[in-house]
Amino acid sequence: MSPQITSIYCYHITIRCNNREFRLTRLQCRQVLLFIIKKAIEKYNFQLYGLCIMSNHIHYLIQPQKDEDIPKIMHYLNWYSAMCFNRMLNRTGHFWEKRYFKTSFPISDVRRALNTLRYIHANPKAAGMQNGFFCDFSNYGVYERLGDDGLTTWHPAFLSLGEDLEECASKYRSFCYQYKPNEKQYKPFHWGSQLLPKLTRRKKVTKPKKKKTEKQKKAEEEAKKLYEYWQENNSEIVEVAEKFMYANCYNKTHLREFLENYY
């Protein structure tokens, strides 16, 4: 029997690639990420209500078992994915920008929950990647078609929309298609007047390298094994990813043709 979830909060978490680089476009990276998410759910027993993997960032909507689990969950997701992706992409250095950004709200806040879910699911459409809300790497599909992607579950706010699941799905669909994204505001940089004086006043400090702990060494070994699984086209990784993709894609026939030609 799984431990009872005691947290009454949901967390909308965003994590972005370092330097805003488009490092998440490769299919294999997304497959491995979905597999890591599955392992994290099994390890920390949290509810994943919303997920959208974009080209350079990810959105999660999570309800942890306990509120103090959020740093552990995100460390697990970010550490293992960064270790694997650096090997897969033959790169070094930070993969993720900063740590992560999060906001929280009570699980009972229906309006906030629905607005957050819609914002997450609207990301591909707002970015011009999709005409509608369906996306292979967003879990909008399980909300509209009431399927099972093996990773995510319906938020209680979604289940409150109607007397049965079909009514919930219909109302959520209508709610999503009313969405109009706000135009992003870009602030100009003041290189000469603000940034450069600050840089020139800073003294360069060389910090001694910290020795890796046994826990870090163990984590690196596990990440290395996961990378080796990917190299062998591990069937478990592919199975987890394809279940998610088929449950959420717009057209299963088109997805099947794409995967057949890709492999």
**Domain positions in the chain:** 9-181+215-262
214-231 and 27-44 helices cross at what angle (nearest 10)? Answer: 130
CB 76 within 8 Å of CB 37? no
Residues 6+ apart with CB under 8 A from 73: 40, 44, 46, 62, 64
Is the model's pTM score more than 0.75?
Answer: yes
The beta-strand segments (E) located in the chain are 9-17, 47-53, 57-63, 96-106
Residue 126 phi/psi, 5-degree rounding, is -65, -30
Q: Give the count of beta carbons closer than 10 Å to the beta carbon of residue 233.
A: 11
Q: What pLDDT does residue 138 have?
A: 97
Return the structure tokens found at 81: 């994915």
Domain 9-181+215-262 CATH superfamily: Transposase IS200-like (3.30.70.1290)
C-alpha to C-alpha distances, 247 to 97, 194, 256, nearest whole angstrom: 30, 49, 12
Would you write out the chain's pLDDT as a tens digit for each of its 263 residues?
456 778 899 999 999 999 888 899 999 999 999 999 999 999 999 999 999 999 999 999 999 999 999 999 999 999 999 988 998 888 888 899 888 999 999 999 999 999 999 999 999 999 888 888 999 999 999 999 999 999 999 999 999 999 999 999 999 999 999 988 776 555 555 555 555 555 556 555 555 666 767 776 776 777 777 667 666 658 899 999 999 999 999 999 999 999 988 87
Q: Identify the three-state secondary structure at position 161.
A: coil
Quote the pLDDT of residue 247. 97
